[in-house]
Amino acid sequence: MALSGKLTKKLVENLGSGRHGDGNGLYLVVDPSGARRWIVRVVVTGQKNRKGGPLRTDFGLGSAELVPLNQARERALEYRRMAKQGLNPRFNTRKEAPTFEEVAQQVHIERMPTWKNAKHGVQWINTLRDYAFPKIGRMPIDSIGQPEVMMCLAPIWTEKHETATRLAQRIKVVLDVARSRGFRTGENPVTAIKESQALPRVKAKPKHHSAMRWQDMPDFYAGLRERKAMAAKALMFICLTAARTGEVLGMRWAEIDSANRLWVCPADRMKTGEEHRVPLTDEMLSIIEPLRAMRSDYVFEGQKRHRPMSNMAMLTLLRRMGADDVTVHGFRSTFRDWAAEVANVPREVAEKCLAHTVGSDVERAYARSDLLDKRRALMRDWSRYVASGRLEAHG
């Protein structure tokens, strides 16, 4: 049975410049020069574009002088069937290998739903865009070996080692995907480079967030109390909870259980990817409860209505208070030092307060409690010390 659409053989030969639809995604494109070609637009099931919408892609089907109307319709139907099954026709119809950049962009699109947040996805592709695409982006994926990968890694291996390490991992993923789809064979060159130690070993420099001494916390906190800005209130809450900046700034009222004095931070905002319960003390509640009157979605609302506060607001506040030598994240270390030196609590309790992963997989499988009661007592004593400077007696 012949396929039919809006176009006819006569129309294909005589239509003027522009894009003319035949139906079902098939178009005849007539250039101003008179050249005529076929394209088909498909929506790939289950795949998203960079903005999170459906992945719509155009594919060329050849010159109208070489590909007759019926054949163009048959090819278009084949492409649509692939797209409906979640297969990108770009990687399932061409005989030649795609370029490194084509595969990388496709991997990025396919993995967008799996990333914890959009920022991670942007960083993933930007690393390849900045350091790999200029050197190997246009190369066929099956022609990339160790020398080509070395061209990308060697220039930044020492100077920007952390970036280079991430770049190597992302290049490896792209090449692995290409192999799984039949565009490559043999060992991944990134693996071979690591095993051959072709690149020098670089000793990682530990990163430490500048932290305030726990002995200085009461005076600093008293200074925060005198300020009315939302940034001061958020920073006070961070000092008391020892939570991460993103966890606090993204906090919504729905996460607060005032009756049970708990803040339940959802998994998608936690670094560990697991829900975290934070016991709330009298001092913590005295900071956030008055903010309910603002009727915002977020506890610490920013300058824009129903939007969280920027993390730069607290950093700017620290500078205004003359605390140039500390960071917001550093207050977690301040709490940890106090817990070790003053509270003298078991390591597991202090680490749970910080939402750190403790122990091996086997140990964590047996230690399923989040030690909430012990953490509640510890955070109560920490709040009292920070707010009053009074040290509690600990055994």
Over residues 264-304, the pLDDT tens digits come to 999 889 988 889 999 999 999 999 999 999 889 899 998 88
Residue 370's pLDDT is 84
Q: Pick from 136, 168, 196: which residue ends a domain?
A: 196
> What CATH code is carried by the domain that includes residue 70?
3.30.160.390
| Residue 355 and residue 223 in one domain | yes
Per the structure, how many domains does the chain have? 3
Residue 303 in tokens: 């300058």
Does residue 119 fall inside a structural domain? yes
Whether 115 is covered by a domain: the verdict is yes
In a domain, 208, yes or no: no
Same domain, 155 and 221: no
Query: For residues 183 and 139, is the Cβ–Cβ distance under 8 A?
Result: no
Check whether residue 334 and residue 231 sit in a common domain. Answer: yes
Q: Tell me, what CATH number does 278's domain have? A: 1.10.443.10
Ranges of H-type helices in the chain: 9-14, 69-84, 100-111, 118-131, 133-136, 146-153, 161-180, 189-196, 217-225, 230-241, 245-249, 282-288, 311-320, 330-338, 347-353, 361-366, 372-388
Same domain (yes/no): 75, 134: no
Q: Domain for residue 209, yes or no?
A: no
266 occurs within a structural domain: yes
Do 83 and 106 have their domain in common? no
Please indicate, yes or no, whether residues 188 and 264 belong to a single structural domain of this protein: no
CATH number at residue 109: 1.10.150.130
The whole-number pLDDT of residue 291 equals 94
Which residues in the chain show pLDDT less than 50? 1, 362-366, 395
Return the pLDDT at 362. 43
How big is the CA angle at 125 (ends 120 and 130), to the nearest 5 degrees? 120
Question: What does the block give as tokens for 198?
Answer: 């072709």
CA distance 338 to 334: 6
* Domain end call among 196, 226, 259: 196
Q: Do 233 and 174 lie in a common domain?
A: no
Range of the domain at 84: 9-91
| Same domain membership, residue 172 and residue 238 | no
Same domain, 162 and 223: no
CB 217 within 8 A of CB 236: no
User: Are 316 and 379 in a shared domain?
Assistant: yes
Give the H/E segment covering residue 59: strand 54-63
Domain boundary (59, 91, 123) is at: 91
Do 276 and 334 share a domain, yes or no?
yes
Torsions phi, psi of 342, nearest 5? -115, -55
- The answer to whether 299 and 251 have CB atoms below 8 angstroms apart is yes
> Is 244 inside any structural domain?
yes
Distance, in Å, from the CA atom of 253 to the CA atom of 280, rounded to the nearest integer, reads 14
Say yes or no: 54 and 76 in one domain: yes
Residue 206 lies in a domain: no
Q: Is residue 36 part of a domain?
A: yes
